[in-house]
Amino acid sequence: MTSLSTHRKLLVHDLGRRPYAEVLELQRNLCRARVERRLDDDILLLVEHDPVYTLGRGTRDSSLPVAPELLRKRGAEVFEIERGGDVTFHGPGQLVGYPIIDLAQQRQDLHWYLRELEGALIDALEVLDIAADRNPGKTGVWTGGRKIASIGVHVKQWVTLHGFALNVTTDLAWFDWIVPCGIADVQMTSVGRELDTTGNSLKDIDLRAREAVVEALGRRFGRSPDSAALPTL
C-alpha cells in the first residue's frame, strides 16, 4: 500500500445529488484543466446521480436486452460515453467517485491504476466490516461472489476521468434491466444488503462509506485528502 504523503493533496468535492450530464461535463473540464496544468492538485468528485445507465466503449448488444427507449420510459437517462467497460447503472444510494489524477506524476500504467482503485474500495469495505476482493479477469470489487462495486475509466494524456460506483443503499432492481458490465448471471449487491441494514442507520452507512473511501484512496495514491471549493476554470 502506498504511504500517505503530507505534501501532495487530493482535493475532495462532494457534489451531493446531481444529474449525470452536468457532472460529465464538469469532470471533462477538470480533466482538460489538469492536462493543461491549470490545476496543480489531483481531484476526487463524489456524487450521487439521478437514475442513469451509462454505456462504455465495450458495451455489447447482448448487454441491453431492453431498448434504451424503454429504459428512459422507466425514468432513467441513457448515455454513451468514452470510458472503458460495458453498461452499468448509477442512481440514488450509490457512491460514485470520479478521480481526476495525473498518472504522469505517479505511474503511467492503466492496469496498475485499476488495481489500485479496486484495492482502495476493498480497504474501505473492510472498515465497514465487509470482506471484499477482486475477481480475476473481471474489473470491479466483489464480496461472497456478488458484485458490490463497478469501475470504468478513461485517460487523456495520462490524466484520468470517470471512475467507480459503490452500491451503498442502492435499489438493486435497476440492474435487472441490463446485463451489468456485460457479465451474464452476475448478482449485484450493496453495503446495506450485506450488512442487513435498514431504517435510520442507512444514513450512517452512507457517511461511513464516504469517509472510508476517501481515506483509502488517499493512502493508495499517496495523497492527503482535503475538502475544498471547486476551482474556477
List the catalytic residues: 181
Other CB atoms within 10 A of residue 73 CB? 10
Q: In terms of Cα–Cα distance, which of 153, 161, 159 is closest to 35?
A: 159
Nearest alpha-carbon partner for 215 in 127, 140, 129, 139? 127
Hey, how many other C-beta atoms are within 10 angstroms of the C-beta on 229? 7
C-beta separation of 202 from 138 below 8 A: no
